[in-house]
Copies of this chain bind each other. A is one copy, B any other.
């Protein structure tokens, strides 16, 4: 197996998109993906990219991705967020996720990130075990809060 971890280029985005869709199915929200391949091409490249994507290429095929962007912590300063770490279902257990995470952590350190954060579903025990083994902390006392697109509309309609 020839494994290469490298920065994604625009022509990787169709493969990246397929992995994002596969993760949404795994996370039981197959309809949740509203972006398109072109959105990834538009937002991930150019002068002010919204994210940076790394890909894992196995025998010249993209089999995994790690997608990150900076955040700002008012406690720590500039931090890095790992939005997605995805490996093709039939390629798990071969060290591809570890190789991608290694790349993310090294990149975060290079960028001066004081923390690297991500999110995980509480029933995804293999992922949680993997992250703990890597030294990450599961922050049990923090909850995510979201106002979705409809919620934003409802909120604004009540303001007027």
Contact = CB atoms under 8 A, between A and B. Distances in A.
A50 interface: yes
Contact of A145 (B71, B139, B148, B156): B139
Contacts of A43: 72, 77-78
A117 B140 contact: no
B159 A145 contact: no
Bin chain A's interface residue count. 35 or more
Contacts of A34: 75-77, 114
Contact of A74 (B48, B73, B83, B114): B83
A105 interface: yes
A105 B156 contact: yes
Contact of A143 (B108, B140, B155): B140
B143 A147 contact: no
Interface string A50-82: 110000000000000001011111111110010
A120 interface: yes
Interface of A: 20, 24, 29, 32-35, 39-40, 43, 48, 50-51, 67, 69-78, 81, 83-84, 102, 105-106, 108-109, 113-123, 128, 131, 134-149, 151-156, 159
